[in-house]
Structure 1
Amino acid sequence: MVILHTVIAIMGVVALIIKGKVDPVISLIIGSLYLGLATGVGFTGTIGAITTGFGEIMAEVGLLIGFGVLIGSLLHAMGAFQKMVELLVNDVGGRRLPYALTAAMSTIFPSIYVDVQVVLASPVVRSAGPLIGRRGLPLMAGALGTGIFAGYVFVVPGLAAVSIAGLMGIPLGTWILYGIVLGPLTAIATTLIFRQLLRGRYWKPAADEELADSAELADGAEADGAGPSTTTDETDAPATDHPRTPPLLVCLLPILVPLVMIGGGAFAELFGVTSDAVAFIGDANLALFVGLLGAYLLARRTLGSEGTNNALGTGFHTTGEILLITGIGGSLGAVIAETGLDEILAGLFSADAGAPIVLSILLAWVIAAVLHLAIGSVSVASIAAAGIIAPVLGSIDVAPIAIGLAVASGAMFALQVNSNFFWMFKSLIGLSTQGTLKTLTIVTSIASLISLPLVMVIGLLA
């Protein structure tokens, strides 16, 4: 009965989000309440699990998410990411531009949110596409889509990456070591494969492009994502191109310095160099605070006090719902742990003694992929899947990093029409619905499938 009630709870959450257009925060709480009460956890036990689970995950990732949001908001307001886009256009040859774009989106741009990324980069896709060749527009669109989401799920400080690591108790330094390789590798490989796909008769400009739609957005105006949607992965922010923007390398220091601090701490631990000082410097919370402090000082010098406060206000506004969804993902996991489902799932994960690692990774991937197909939000699917699987990690003989990366891989599978981002992407790039399915949906599917065997290799070696 525990499995049945869990399925009912998850399907209920999905139905509320998709059919009822209920906010994911409310939907996840309703699902957690139902699951706890229906499985005999009890009134007090259910509420206790929800609050305890929320508090525990906030202790893990609350500051990380908040600091990351504020760093991205400040750098965006200073025009740092616009400067990066301009550099790609001016200094990279046409044939290499799709790979440079997807590499940048999957390594540097995860510090800002996916809808802001597409607003910033869509003018590059539209203007550079015709310069690359007859299939330049779909190739650039595919490179943009796969770069955004490969970075979002695999690369710190992407929201999905940080959330999965926190919910599953994976050290952020460990995640960085794997994700910083897996993210861009997946994005570049996907773009290579997609380029080959475009060589045939796959793309039909007359049916797949609607350039008239994007003409209205030629100046980089923001889209409201009109069209069928259920949830939105991110909250947009106004673009700013400030004439006093510091040099690009200086702008990127608030991102690069924290990554070096966290990565250095992880390498030190790997080589047995341990001390309080090393642990302090490599702590992810301290590292991101150092990045935030650097971004704040740069913003004060570039934007002044009022502009900095406005950028911080945008970041604070964005942080609220993100933290609630993430925290309630922890609540759902805590309720699941109280039901005893963790023991049942542990049995499923280890059912085949012949290939437990491969099957465990595949099962984690499938759970995340199904949730994404149903809900339409990469972040909500990542958080929900991590919350479901986290209670069983201690019971299976697979490295947690491999299971976490499998969740990340599955959560970006086949982004399609029930995602608000899908419609924003369509309008900003200038594609038909069919063309968006043939670019964004296909490249996220390819990226998910390409990364899965790579995660399996990590699981076998880790």
Structure 2
Amino acid sequence: MSDTAVLVNTAVAIVAIVLLIVRFKLNPLIALVIGSCYLGLAAGLGVEGTLTTVATGFGDILAEIGLLIAFGVLMGALLNDLGAIRRLVEGLLRTVGAQRLPHAMALTIATFLQSIFLDVLLVISAPLARAVAPRLGRYGTARMATALAIGLECGIVFTVPGVAALALAGLLGVPLSTYLVYGLVVVIPTVAISITIMSTVFTRGWWKPELDELEPAAVATDALAESSSRSTAAGGDTGAGAGGTAATATGGAGEGALPEPAASEPARPPLLLLFGPLVAALLLVAAGAVTETLEWSNPVVAFLSTPMVALLIGLVGTCLVGRRFMGRPKVEESLETGVRQSGQILLLSGVGGSLAATIEAIGLGDILGGYLSAGSWAPLVVVWVIAAVLHIAVGSVTISAITAAGLLAPVASSLGLDPVLIALAAGAGSLFMVHLTSNTFWLLQTLMGQTTRGTLKSCSVGVSVASVVAMGPILLLSLFL
């Protein structure tokens, strides 16, 4: 088949996937499989070859990242039920003060809390952010909503073990230790600079509370310790996704105080103990990157720093902490919740692998490699544009990142670029224009008390700014890799 025919059929497959998801409301999992099958058949792989490629691609990617995603989500479910997120935000507020909280909270979410399922993390953290917003003045709601949006979305694509980050690394064959290091190099300045830009724009008159907020933000109490010591049956720690949105939105923030622990919550363990296993897991993965860079080999360190082993150690440690402070039945309940949350992510990652395998089998990588010049910044911008267009069309950061990575994975070797750069550029592009088709958009609007107009500013524009800003560190890295 000619190069032109391969390019045309690939374009048709991608457009078909987008239309099936957006126009016909078909589940993304089914749409991606249909697109992969069409592409294989149209490009001449044959029935048997197409089905084998789709199945093999699905299995290969899950074999690489399936357990990592599951371990990360399970850890997040346990930390959620332990009340760790609420307490961490309380600690940040006491440590850095209200005015610095948007940066501190966003950076913490983006770099440290990515084992937690995004909707759960948003449902838990948004009422806390809304309660604190009045302390930041007239633009407090805008600043906190933007900080949440940027921290959440940047974290899932740039930070291990964020679900999109794991998928991008797996699809492009990037060692997770490498992605962890370079992802942090990108996400920290991206989050800090983007929030600063948006805060400046808001305070110059772009944010109008009377038009961009549904109602004045609740007045937060000045004594966080006092609010933490009281108990109420409507605490904000038990949300398990979008289903808990309404209760959480009206429960913590509406009364003007930070959400408080449930009446049945046991003695509060130290935060370091709660997060210790997760920190240990990430440090082990980072140790693998360091030993690889130093070309130092030790079998024990090599085993423990393997991402699967490191995250398993973190999960086991978190389970032990949970048993100590929640009891075995509650731990089992938390794990069941985590298993349910991870199912769709695993399936989407798998079909992303199917698309990538099909594209590789039809030889698209060699064709595109001939059009894009190696060793320049242009290919990374092309990657960003493809992911951005997919996200505008589909409306899901994770789906667009996975689809873009699947499309571009075979191109990495022919471009002469380090695959980690392509993974990061695809992640950056997938952040562009979070809009009305995104669940995050509507959760932020409801939980932060914004109008649609206000959410378009804080979420859509804010995350788009981060998408563009992220290309700065990525292009800078390309000069050295």
TM-score bracket for the superposition, by shorter chain length: over 0.9
Residue 71 of structure 1 contacts residue 254 of structure 1 at CA under 8 Å; is this kept in 2?
Answer: no
Is 1:96 the counterpart of 2:100 in the alignment? yes
Cα 1:304–1:225 change in 2 (3 A) is closer
CA deviation profile, 1:92-123 (whole Å, cap 9, x unmatched): 31211111111111111211122112211212
2-structure distance, mates of 1:358, 1:131: 43
Residue 225 of structure 1 contacts residue 421 of structure 1 at CA under 8 Å; is this kept in 2?
Answer: no
Instruction: Give how far 1:213 is off.
Output: 10
Is 1:307 the counterpart of 2:330 in the alignment? yes
Is 1:453 the counterpart of 2:472 in the alignment? yes
Q: Paired residue for 2:274?
A: 251
Q: Which runs of 5+ in 1 are unaligned?
A: 227-238
Residue 17 of structure 1 contacts residue 375 of structure 1 at CA under 8 Å; is this kept in 2?
Answer: yes
SS class of match (1:169)? coil
Q: 4+ runs of 1 displaced by more than 6 Å?
A: 212-215
Structure 1 stretch 443-452 or stretch 338-347: which is displaced more? 338-347
Instruction: Give how far 1:225 is off.
Output: 9.8
Instruction: Give how far 1:11 is off.
Output: 1.0
Give the aligned length. Answer: 444
SS class of match (1:20)? coil
Is 1:438 the counterpart of 2:438 in the alignment? no
- Whichever residue aligns with residue 382 of structure 2, its letter is L
Q: Counterparts in 2 of 1:400-439, with a 5 A limit?
A: 400-439=419-458
Q: Paired residue for 1:62?
A: 66
Instruction: Give how far 1:275 is off.
Output: 3.1
1-structure distance, mates of 2:112, 2:446: 24
Q: Paired residue for 1:71?
A: 75
Cα 1:102–1:438 change in 2 (3 A) is same
Q: Paired residue for 1:48?
A: 52
Q: Paired residue for 1:121?
A: 125
Q: Paired residue for 1:231?
A: none
Cα 1:263–1:109 change in 2 (3 A) is same
- In structure 2, which of residues 272, 277, 287 is the aligned counterpart of residue 264 of structure 1? 287
Q: Counterparts in 2 of 1:312-461, with a 5 A limit?
A: 312-350=335-373, 356-461=375-480
Instruction: Give how far 1:452 is off.
Output: 0.5
CA deviation profile, 1:49-105 (whole Å, cap 9, x unmatched): 011111111121111111111111111111111211221233331211111111111
Q: Paired residue for 1:26?
A: 30
Structure 1 stretch 35-44 or stretch 118-127: which is displaced more? 118-127
Residue 84 of structure 2 contacts residue 271 of structure 2 at CA under 8 Å; is this kept in 1?
Answer: yes
Cα 1:219–1:138 change in 2 (3 A) is farther
Residue 377 of structure 2 contacts residue 475 of structure 2 at CA under 8 Å; is this kept in 1?
Answer: yes
Instruction: Give how far 1:20 is off.
Output: 1.4
2-structure distance, mates of 1:453, 1:134: 31
- Whichever residue aligns with residue 203 of structure 2, its letter is R
- In structure 1, which of residues 172, 190, 202 is the aligned counterpart of residue 194 of structure 2? 190
Residue 71 of structure 1 contacts residue 111 of structure 1 at CA under 8 Å; is this kept in 2?
Answer: yes
2-structure distance, mates of 1:104, 1:312: 24
2-structure distance, mates of 1:274, 1:59: 25
Q: Paired residue for 1:144?
A: 148
Q: Paired residue for 2:164?
A: 160
Cα 1:274–1:223 change in 2 (3 A) is closer
Is 1:82 the counterpart of 2:101 in the alignment? no
2-structure distance, mates of 1:91, 1:398: 42
Cα 1:52–1:377 change in 2 (3 A) is same
SS class of match (2:114)? helix
Q: Paired residue for 1:180?
A: 184
- In structure 1, which of residues 196, 206, 214 is the aligned counterpart of residue 210 of structure 2? 206
2-structure distance, mates of 1:402, 1:281: 26
1-structure distance, mates of 2:333, 2:282: 26
- Whichever residue aligns with residue 165 of structure 2, its letter is A
Q: TM-score normalised to the size of structure 2?
A: 0.89
Residue 357 of structure 1 contacts residue 456 of structure 1 at CA under 8 Å; is this kept in 2?
Answer: no
- Whichever residue aligns with residue 440 of structure 2, its letter is F
Structure 1 stretch 193-202 or stretch 340-349: which is displaced more? 340-349
CA root-mean-square deviation: 2.0
2-structure distance, mates of 1:165, 1:449: 21
Identical residues among aligned pairs (%): 41
1-structure distance, mates of 2:27, 2:469: 32
SS class of match (2:204)? coil
Residue 368 of structure 1 contacts residue 385 of structure 1 at CA under 8 Å; is this kept in 2?
Answer: yes
2-structure distance, mates of 1:344, 1:225: 48
Residue 225 of structure 1 contacts residue 420 of structure 1 at CA under 8 Å; is this kept in 2?
Answer: no
2-structure distance, mates of 1:177, 1:252: 20
2-structure distance, mates of 1:302, 1:201: 48
1-structure distance, mates of 2:306, 2:113: 22
Q: Paired residue for 1:275?
A: 298
Q: TM-score normalised to the size of structure 1?
A: 0.92
